[in-house]
Amino acid sequence: MNLADIEAGVAVHHEPNGVVVASRFHLDEARVHAPDADDLTMAIDALEAWHRQGHSGSVSIEISERERPILVASLPWLTLDEAGSHVVHRFDYGAAVLERSASFDPAGVMVNSDARISVDSENHTSMQEAWALELSEQNVSQGAYVSDQVHVLGLEARLGMLAQTGPMWPPRGSNADGSLPHKGEAIPLVARVVSWTRLIAAGCPSEFSIRAPVLGGLTSLLVTFDHGPSGVFLHADGHPAEVDIDDEVRLVVRRVYAQDGTLRYGRKALLL
């Protein structure tokens, strides 16, 4: 199976009973993850590609307890069911969402040469080491500290792009009278660039200080949506980041940083 199309930063193959996605990044002939991607973001990429194509139904996926809240928050429309009509097949640097009756051989998945992004061996190793250091419990983040409790409270808004319908005080998930706030509509994942800036490694926020030198800096974008507020998002790592005002971008789930030995995920922008 040759994956020649590109959607949301990954190589994609659509077929009547589902979708197959794989990483575009290659070290020689071997697939590897993008600098800010992993097996979880790849599964989310596959499910979002499946959903964009108009597929629907319950889905079965083998997922860890650590991954589950990230997946659920990222895909508010998803119905998980162990006996679901569709199954997520997770494989090295890729994932497929297919009807339960469909057969699938991950060994036959190949990314077309035109869709590949070549990775330098030294940079790839440096990035792996940087993430390992950032994830180590000995590492003390120099950025603003966000507790796990506060981080989890914001997952649906940050990953699922669920807008808030009104003011909340205190900002801990309830209204002033103690009632739960009404959930707002999901903001579209496609936006338009209003402004952008390129940060050199030395000028990046301190929570990115370990990886920024390997990446050569970060690109930050101010984007606006057809409805809802504007927002600031990082550009996804490893992809060409030459953007212009009025360019359209799609927001995808990627690693953002690590704190207290835990990965923090968020939405990042990729050119359409």
pLDDT digits (tens, 9 = 90+) for 129-171: 999 999 987 777 666 677 888 788 889 889 999 876 666 555 5
Q: How high is the pLDDT of residue 259? A: 85
How confident is the model at residue 169, as a pLDDT?
57
pLDDT at 92 over 90: yes
Dist CA 114 CA 100 (whole Å)? 31
H or E segment to which residue 140 belongs: none
For residue 48, is pLDDT > 70? yes
Length of the chain: 272
Reference 220, options 186, 167, 267, 163; nearest CA is: 267
Structure confidence at residue 167 (pLDDT): 62
How high is the pLDDT of residue 181?
66
Domain spans in the chain, listed from the N-terminal domain onward: 2-119, 132-271
Q: Tell me the chain's radius of gyration from C-alpha atoms.
A: 19
Model pLDDT, residue 152:
83
pLDDT at 171: 58
Q: Residue 179 — very low, low, confident or very high, per pLDDT cuts 50/70/90? A: confident
For 200-239, how does the pLDDT look when each residue is reduced to its tens digit (9 = 90+)? Answer: 888 888 888 899 999 999 999 999 998 878 999 999 999 9
Q: What pLDDT, on a 0 to 100 scale, did the predictor assign at position 157?
A: 87
The string of pLDDT tens digits covering residues 73-88 is: 999 999 999 999 999 9
Q: What is the mean pLDDT of residues 257-268?
A: 91
pTM greater than the 0.85 cutoff: yes
pLDDT at 228: 72
Q: What percent of the chain has pLDDT over 70?
A: 92
The whole-number pLDDT of residue 20 equals: 98
Please, what is the average pLDDT of the chain?
A: 91
Q: What is the pLDDT of residue 141?
A: 67
Residues 90 and 106 sit within 8 Å (Cβ to Cβ): no
pLDDT at 44 over 60: yes
Give the integer Cα–Cα distance in Å for 175 and 10.
40
